[in-house]
Structure 1
Amino acid sequence: MTSIDSEPGRRERKKAATRRALSEAAMRLFLERGFDEVTVREIAEVADVSTTTLMNYFPTKEALVFDLDGEIERSLVAAVAERPPDISVPEALRRYLRERAERAVSGRHASRFMKLVLTTPALSDYWRKMWLRHEDALTRALAREFGQADRNLRCQALAHFALEAFTLATQSADAVPMIDVAFDILEHGWSPGEEPSD
């Protein structure tokens, strides 16, 4: 007879719960003391697991901060693939990224998280590389929408610039307006001699 704990569904739920507990423990410590002041061993002790177990789930300390990578990529692709029929692709991306920017600056936890990321060089670099890794998935989603080859250059350019608009916004004191400015330029171009509006 098969043990309940050996059932795939139960095992996956336990793994997900352990992963979540590790990430939450790490974030509590990072927000309290700063990323550089916390060791992997301390995180493992707080989560009551071995350091080896922690490293099996998160191969780097930076990865503990960004546990939602897969979920973000899925939501980014869905913003394009599942948009209402009367919404253009650039407008769907603008709305999605504006919403993310609003959450990053308005929620107490989200704003503390972004401050931690942007003021810690190792995290800032890791986050930017991680965020831009979504470029391939977004390029493929755009190519499907427009009936183009997966590596279509226009789709790749739109994916890259849309993602870069968000990284620019997170570093701006006016994050949400920056998204709109970036997408206005993406959609309508820049006229010679045009003065940017505040």
Structure 2
Amino acid sequence: MQLKALTLPLMLALLAVGAQAQTVYRIVGPDGKVTFSDKAPETPSKNSPAVVTTTGGGDSAGAGLPYELGKVAARFPVTIFTGQNCPPCDSGRRLLVSRGVPFTERTINTNEDLQALTNLGSDSSLPFAKIGGQNLSGFSESEWTQYLDAAGYPKTSQLPTNYRRPAATPLTQPAKAAPAASASDAATAETGRRVRPPAPPADPNAPNPNNPAGLKF
């Protein structure tokens, strides 16, 4: 199916796949009173803009954002997977930053990261992006823009001036280093035979032909 043939409802349906985590809204009223609800408020407060916070799984993509942007980010969170020395990754990141799309960035640095990326549905092309439940392999400005439009992200940045984008983190945690092998274990691995530890020095006072009684001197 060609991307151009996708209708807006179909694109939204694709984006919504996998984005079923429960959302809890933190609503700040005109009087400053904070309430929590599983239903989004119909209109934001004029005197005190409502702020959306999501819980119940996934990243808090809508935390601390203006109401409308937070609602979109909570429903269709954006995550990009990038690598080092990757110009297309830089282009994708710049598009999201310039448009004011809040996103999470995960880096691909090891074979374990690459395997985990493949398990997420990627064909190993970077950048790899997830917009809600929609996977996008490689960077195409027109394609990314169409899906961001379909999700409802504003075309110009609505991020507050104090917004700070989360730092990029590796997709997988590095494995813990194995404990160093002892000298005998290393010798066993090399020869295939267990090395007998050296015998302790003989006790000069132990029984022997010259001292059958084991007398101590």
So what's the TM-score if we normalise by structure 1? 0.24
Q: Which has the larger radius of gyration?
A: 2
Higher strand share: 2
Higher helix share: 1
